[in-house]
Amino acid sequence: MPALGCCVESAVSPPLGYSFLSTPEIFSSGVPPSTNAVPLTTHWSPELSSDLYRIDGWGAPYFTVNSSGDISVRPHGTDTLPHQEIDLLKVVKKASDPINSGGLGLQLPLVVRFPDVLKNRLESLQSAFDYAVQSEGYEAHYQGVYPVKCNQDRFVVEDIVKFGTGFRFGLEAGSKPELLLAMSSLCKGSSEGLLVCNGFKDAEYISLALVARKLQLNTVIVLEQEEELDLVIDISRKMAVQPVIGLRAKLRTKHSGHFGSTSGEKGKFGLTTTQILRVVRKLKESGMLDCLQLLHFHIGSQIPSTELLADGVGEAAQVYSELVRLGAGMKFIDIGGGLGIDYDGTKSSDSDVSVGYGLQDYASTVVQAVRFVCDRKNVKHPVICSESGRAIVSHHSVLIFEAVSSTTTRSQELSSMSLHSFVEKLNDDARGDYRNLSAAAIRGEYDTCMLYADQLKQRCVDQFKDGNLDIEQLAAVDAVCDFVSKAIGASDPVRTYHVNLSVFTSIPDFWAIDQLFPIVPIHKLDEHPSARGILSDLTCGAYEEALGGLHNLFGGPSVLRVSQSDSPHSFAVTYAVPGPSCADVLRAMQHEPELMFETLKHRAEEFVHKEEEVEVSLANSLNQSFHNMPYLAPHSSCCFSGYYYCNDENIVGVGAECAIGEEEFWPYCVA
């Protein structure tokens, strides 16, 4: 999501832009204080609020401030007509008003999604590449792929498939449940849309991808590890399916920014040039070199500049051309993700949360880089694919929450008598700091004043901890220091707003990977901001297990209860619960596994024209995939059966919970 909307009872100016403000430490966000200081003016307007919060920087063309001082959404971007703008405050009112008053009776916080924005993003991306292809004389086309890990929500994925059908838009999966999701969704999409299978793969994953090809889905198995090739060759032969294979190359080009850790030679995904040559050799020996048709790479998310983009794409185009020279049946170059979003509104290539280019710049750079290399090598232009996840979905949703209360720090007023009493109770060192503070103030040495004030405060805290200063005196030193700050103009009073939100639950990107999000009040933007603010959520922290999420639709782990015993291994497993199945995690994202299975089953009946026994085996295998865990299965536990590798004996069904007797001991250690 590009923005966090906040309902408050007075306009608030964040200290440094659009960071989510949960602690004072967030003030050091890298945006200069003067950049969006509140202008000194007696007149205020929505336009000034738009400048203050840089809404035109991070929000254009989808977010604006209307004449009422509310945030409006422009669902069709620049093509939005005035009467089509959506006032977010009215949306909140409709959602939160009681049902008997015509509302929906929903409680905040609230995620609001705008499918029209999603459609516009797809159209804009396709239009940018279409223009670049035409203007550069490129002799192939562009077709996008949406990486479902960016947002696996059922309606988001279904909308992308629906809106992208005319563009041959496809999906990318990185795990078995994502693959099941993509297979089911693409049954209603373009027959030319790619189903790109990324991520580490076991036998079941590869079998499932080959089933997708059998169902006439345009599936490409992208090799992330060299050893995956043996599985692809072996299983495809047993299933009598000719695979389409891609490989992910580790480029030398590295994105050195915050989101570039998975790029470069030392990235955990992809193959080195030596491994690529071995893959080509093995495919040639197996008579399957024509199956190698796609080159995939990923420079890193949030690519900051077109210079870096051109460098990486140019290197990849060289690898592509070499694969053509070696005899591979190359058709596609998949440039991965990296199309950046301007989160702070600075339009800067020097920022990890901004980019120094637009959508058209990005598309033109890619097309130019591929065309230049291919023309020089006399190689046929490949179809260009991209996996632009955040660029597609980021703008289409907002999280709206309310400020329920506010506090401000206000020290007590000190009279001359109270001040004298305070000084009398100080120890000699603290009293010396007070005298030095007074002298520095008389001389006008303000930096020295702050130094002695801080030193005085710390000595008083130490006295209090030792029991030599009462709590009234401790409050008095706060008053002294606050008075000094105000007197020398160093005071910047900040109001803390308590918001009805859990950062850990609703904004995991913020605390997990330091992702910055723009934040802005959704109303009263026609009023002059009255205070700088810190937004403080409801939570005080989180624990390891509570932080687990559904990234890539990997659910939680299985759970064992282990007790100490007198057994040879000193423990016994007395309780075991399996982790969530693929169906479970799909349900968590509002998908309906039963309907998905029926869709795939009907697809099988339509395209697999073999004996009834094969269709039944295929249906059973699909059904089992929904009930298996998303995590990789050890190779030793798999053997081929029907269309999958699965256990053919000693299959143990485990329900929601099971008790294991004392005799069940496991010879493993846990670090």
pLDDT in tens, 518-531: 899 999 999 998 87
Residue pair 25/33 in contact by the 8 Å Cβ criterion: no
Write the CB contacts of 46 (distance below 8 Å, at least 6 apart in sequence): 65, 66, 67, 68, 69, 525, 526
| Residue 230 included in any domain | yes
pLDDT of residue 666 exceeding 80, the answer is no
Residues 335 and 452 in one domain: no
Greater pLDDT, 418 or 580: 580
pLDDT in tens, 578-629: 778 899 989 988 899 999 999 999 988 888 766 677 778 888 888 889 998 8
Average pLDDT rounded to a whole number, residues 144-159: 92
Rg (CA), the chain: 30
| Residue 13 included in any domain | no
pLDDT in tens, 36-58: 556 656 689 999 999 999 999 99
Residues 268 and 122 in one domain: yes
Residues 390 and 478 in one domain: no
Q: What residue has token string 């989510």?
A: 20
User: For all residues of the chain together, what is the average pLDDT?
Assistant: 81
Residues 455 and 367 in one domain: no
pLDDT of residue 92 exceeding 80, the answer is yes
Residues 376 and 414 in one domain: no
End-to-end Cα distance, the chain: 38
Phi–psi pair at 457, nearest 5 degrees: -60, -40
Structure tokens at 55: 């809404």
Residue span of the structural domain in which 257 resides = 115-395
Residues 374 and 460 in one domain: no
Query: What whole-number distance in Å separates Cα of residue 35 and Cα of residue 58?
Result: 15
How far is the CA of 190 from the CAs of 89, 207, 344, 427, 571, in angstroms? Answer: 38, 23, 36, 81, 55
| Residue 447 included in any domain | yes
Catalytic residue from among 150, 540, 582, 658:
540
| Residue 596 included in any domain | no
Domain stop point among 467, 488, 509: 488
Domain stop point among 488, 519, 540: 488
pLDDT of residue 212 exceeding 90, the answer is yes
Residue type (1 letter), 434: Y
Residue pair 665/568 in contact by the 8 Å Cβ criterion: yes
DSSP 328-359: ----EEE--S-----SSS---TT-TT--S--H
| Residue 611 included in any domain | no
Percentage of residues in the chain with pLDDT exceeding 70? 78
* Banded model confidence at residue 639, pLDDT cuts 50, 70, 90: very low
Domain stop point among 466, 488, 510: 488
pLDDT value for 613 = 73
Residues 295 and 263 in one domain: yes
- Identify the CATH number of the domain in which residue 308 sits: 3.20.20.10
Residues 264 and 228 in one domain: yes
Number of domains in the chain: 2
Residues 469 and 322 in one domain: no
| Residue 622 included in any domain | no
Residue pair 480/456 in contact by the 8 Å Cβ criterion: yes
Write the CB contacts of 269 (distance below 8 Å, at least 6 apart in sequence): 198, 224, 248, 250, 262, 298
Average pLDDT rounded to a whole number, residues 88-95: 86
Residue pair 86/375 in contact by the 8 Å Cβ criterion: no
Residues 327 and 379 in one domain: yes
Active site residue 540: yes
pLDDT value for 127 = 98
How far is the CA of 193 from the CAs of 139, 157, 188, 360, 361, in angstroms? Answer: 19, 14, 11, 23, 25
| Residue 79 included in any domain | no
Q: What residue has token string 């299985």?
A: 558
pTM of the shown model: 0.77
Residues 356 and 477 in one domain: no
Give strand ranges (E) for 151-238.
Answer: 170-173, 194-197, 218-223
Residue pair 286/338 in contact by the 8 Å Cβ criterion: no
Residues 416 and 344 in one domain: no
Residue pair 414/476 in contact by the 8 Å Cβ criterion: yes
| Residue 28 included in any domain | no
